[in-house]
Amino acid sequence: MKRKIEDMETIVWQTPANPPERHDYIFRDGIRYVKPYYFEFISHVKNRWAGKTIVDLFSEEFKGRPRDYYVSAVKAGRIQVDGQEVPVSYVVQSSQKISHFLHRHEPPVMAWDVEVLCKEPEVLTVCKPASLPVHPCGQYRKNTVLGILQAEYGLAPLFPIHRLDRLVSGLLILARSSSRADIFRQQIESGRVQKQYIARVLGVFPEDEQVVNANVNYNAREGRSTVEVGDNNVNGNDPVKGKAACTKFTRICTNGQHSIVLCQPITGRTHQIRVHLQYTGHPIANDMLYLSEYIPRSATGMSADRAAAKSGHSLKPTDIEGAAAESDSGPNEDFSIDPMCTNCPNLAPKGYDGDEEGLWLHCVKYSGPDWTYECPCPVWASLS
């Protein structure tokens, strides 16, 4: 027991208060990795967890690791309740604080630079690369736009005033104060902000402007949206599901196989542009989530991960658990191996092989009452 406590005391544990630093990153084969680090994950016992043993709770609720690991972690003091070590038979009670001291491996992202476009006293705009989340979420913390801007440019705090999906690239506007962020958000919520994206879609998109007014219903479990159309319970039919959504589409050019389309979302629903383009019969040409099943992968042209690699960016040398499946990132000498870690000796956590994908969907412009910010177009937007 004494040796176990001494080992715990020699580890430097990080919390969200520890800012990312430049030396936290490892670059390999065009991929940005985060050097694994020790982190205290904190959660509180939910009512439905109460009455379970600490080991049963973890093995049933966080299935990314085997039961034997949780038994060992409790015995080693790496899982604690209210700051105290407990036996494997300990029964948890509602609202108790649970700490899981873990050797954290973050998922890899493409190693494209986060390019600063405009730096003003109250506003920062950047070109977000595909594969990179905007802010900490899930297993991502340092491998985020906010983390990289803090580590490489010393820019913090920053307040994103809109969001881009992880696989989407382009303009990202960040306020440098909470008061400025509130002004932006009020303008967006009142409909005074116009948004423009470009997408590369399958087929010859119609020459005339297309307006899609169709509800978007997002299924969080499946991670995808569907378009719902109908008569909103007229004549006794079932009401249309989802949220009202509208997008305007204008063809920019076409080569007969693909088209470049200007997308102007009037609303902001999850995956709205992607699912509305699918609804028109012209899905994003490398969007495997929304491509019709009968279209063979080879027909989409370039694969999504290679599309991200050609997006025009420059290359530079809080729940608890993850998913399953081996990573092929291989043993690494740039960090210390933790004998209890279920991800070591690989850099990436299980389930991530570094083959990140980026969509042919790019945010190019946001305009407000007295401001406009723009982002250059990516290479894939040229059909020549």
Give the active site residues.
165
Between strands 169-175 and 361-367, the pairing is: parallel
Q: CA nearest 92: which of 8, 84, 321? A: 84
Structure token digits, residue 33 = 């990795």
3-state DSSP helix/strand/coil % of the chain, to nearest 5: 20, 30, 50
Distance CA 147, CA 157 (A): 10
Look at the block and give the residue holding tokens 């290679």.
Answer: 306
Structure token digits, residue 77 = 């003091």
Q: CA nearest 124: which of 146, 102, 139? A: 146
Looking at residue 378, what DSSP letter applies?
Answer: P
Looking at residue 187, what DSSP letter applies?
Answer: H
**Helix (H) / strand (E) containing 286:** none
Amino acid at 369: P
How crowded is residue 14: how many other Cβ atoms within 10 Å of its Cβ? 17
Q: CA nearest 92: which of 60, 59, 41, 48? A: 48
**CB 108 within 8 Å of CB 322:** no
Cα 326 vs. chain centroid, distance in angstroms?
21
Measure the CA angle with vertex 312, ends 308 and 317; round to 5°.
Answer: 80
**CB 99 within 8 Å of CB 82:** no
Distance CA 139, CA 119 (A): 29
User: In sequence order, which ranges of 29-169 are alpha helices (DSSP H)?
Assistant: 54-61, 67-75, 145-153
Q: CA nearest 313: which of 382, 376, 258, 383? A: 376
**CB 24 within 8 Å of CB 35:** yes
Look at the block and give the residue holding tokens 């589409």.
Answer: 249
